[in-house]
Amino acid sequence: MNYSDIPEKILLAAKKFPMRSAYEYNGSFVTYNELVKKAGGLAAYLCRNSSPVLIYGHKSPDFIIAVSACLIAGRSFVPCDISIPRERVKRIAALSGAGLVICTEKGLSGDMNVPEISVEELQKLYENKGISPVSEGDENAYIIFTSGSTGEPKGIPVRRESLQNFCGYAERFLKNDVHTGHALFSFDLSVADIFPVLTQGHTLIETDAPPEKDTGSFVCTPTFLRLCLLSEGFSRVNFPSLETILCCGEVLPCETARKCFEHFGDIRLINAYGPAECCCFVTAYEVTIDGLSGDIPIGDGNNACNVEVREGEIFISGISAARGYLDPSMQSDSFRDNGYYTGDMGEFREGKLYFMGRKNGFVKYSGFRVELSEIEGEILKINGISDCACVSLPDSFGQARCIKAYVVTNAPISAEEIKKYLALRLPRYMIPKVIEFVSSVPMTANGKLRI
């Protein structure tokens, strides 16, 4: 396997379209010529070592340049958005074995216990004599962190060959010259925005809000799509070029799909599925207005790798599946039989794969996978709290609308104090919106948590 395949494709795109915008965000942009020049200069510096590189920032062009530089230099990158609390970033740096932190935004305090490249230093490194893509280096393209049941963030190393395979699969859905993305770069859904677009020489426009520019394709979670569709302006009249909307990360409700067709008519709506352990999405289904009755399938049999249902559970194997978590102690029995047992229940009907719910222990909230036990573990570290339990509360579509914590105290403490403590240690989406103080955690007769 040629591990330099992805950066070489980006380099080829720069030769074909040097002045084309490669990436845009909030008024800032970088052309393909600038992207490969700056990434090559930074890669010349990064080649001095082989350890993972933690990239800290939001969505500036510098973040994309740093990602490209890591791939050129053969070093895996660890994306960390500025919304992640500093203490958690520090923990992720330690758990990933990062030998360097690249700051594409200000905000870190210099206490990561590894060398840091500041925003100012980064600009100087761009001026190095650049290098072309190399094939040597780490077999992993990136390490993404998700919520962990042990109270620690769970690192997932994703191999370069998995990423290359994903790009080949995703390109059949994302063929448009200009693409809109929304996901945070520390969220694995962003992989679908960045790599299939740049390797084809297309333009990626990132946003934090509903799209304003008319582009050919758009990737988001079903929850965010539902938010966009609340505006009558998100329709064919204002977005005449929009051909494809790809949803992933959560269940796509029929009502959301139906409203999407009402707004756009002949839109190509893709319902995709895949866990972070398997390089973004591995299967997908093109939704039609005629098929909106009951559950919407998540796959049609044309997959990125092998997707099966074993004893009711979705099992993924082959080139897309990770080989395990970064910390072997977190493996449990999910990685076995040369593949990954997702914890998601599914079934095939007439060749189509349907999602049938999740096993206990984690929930999907705003597209993110959340281990409720990790939140509980952090709450129990607070002085004055003797017990707690977390649940997700569903909305009318059956999706998690918020996380609620039942808390038992043995000393005075307020809900705001609990949230303030958690804000220093957990991402915003993991902080319970509702905290209820109880004398004991409410349980049913069979020992389950009573909502």
* Tokens at 33, concatenated: 């010529």
CATH of the domain at 388: 3.30.300.30
Q: What is the dihedral of CA 123, 129, 132, 135, to 10 degrees?
A: -90
Cα distance between residue 320 and residue 318, in whole Å: 6
CATH of the domain at 10: 3.40.50.980
In this prediction, residue 169 has a pLDDT band, given cuts at 50, 70 and 90, of very high
Number of domains composing the chain: 3
Q: What is the pLDDT of residues 377-386, one digit of tens each?
A: 889 899 999 8
- The residue that leads in pLDDT, 148 or 290, is 290
Rounded mean pLDDT, 80-103: 94
- The residue that leads in pLDDT, 184 or 361, is 184
Does residue 146 lie in a domain region? no
| pLDDT recorded at residue 397 | 65
Tally DSSP H helices, then E strands, for the chain. Answer: 11, 24
Query: What SS3 class is residue 379?
Result: helix
What domain range includes position 402? 369-437
Inform me whether the pLDDT recorded for 447 exceeds 70.
no
CA-nearest of 133, 181, 139 to 162 is 139
- The residue that leads in pLDDT, 108 or 261, is 261
Dihedral (CA of 297, 429, 340, 150) sign = negative
Please identify, among 138, 169, 193, the residue that sits at the C-terminal boundary of a domain.
Answer: 138
In this prediction, residue 146 has a pLDDT band, given cuts at 50, 70 and 90, of confident
| pLDDT recorded at residue 441 | 78
Does residue 165 lie in a domain region? no
Q: What is the pLDDT of residues 322-334, one digit of tens each?
A: 999 998 777 678 8
Bridge partner list, 402: 393
Please identify, among 323, 358, 393, the residue that sits at the C-terminal boundary of a domain.
Answer: 358
Please identify, among 107, 138, 169, the residue that sits at the C-terminal boundary of a domain.
Answer: 138
Q: Do residues 354 and 221 both lie within one domain?
A: yes
Rounded mean pLDDT, 210-224: 95
Cα distance between residue 278 and residue 45, in whole Å: 30
Inform me whether the pLDDT recorded for 361 exceeds 70.
no
Rounded mean pLDDT, 44-53: 94
Is this structure's pTM higher than 0.75?
yes
Q: Do residues 315 and 188 both lie within one domain?
A: yes
Does residue 25 lie in a domain region? yes
Does residue 450 lie in a domain region? no
Strand order in the sheet with 385-394: 385-394, 400-409, 434-437
Cα distance between residue 344 and residue 35, in whole Å: 39
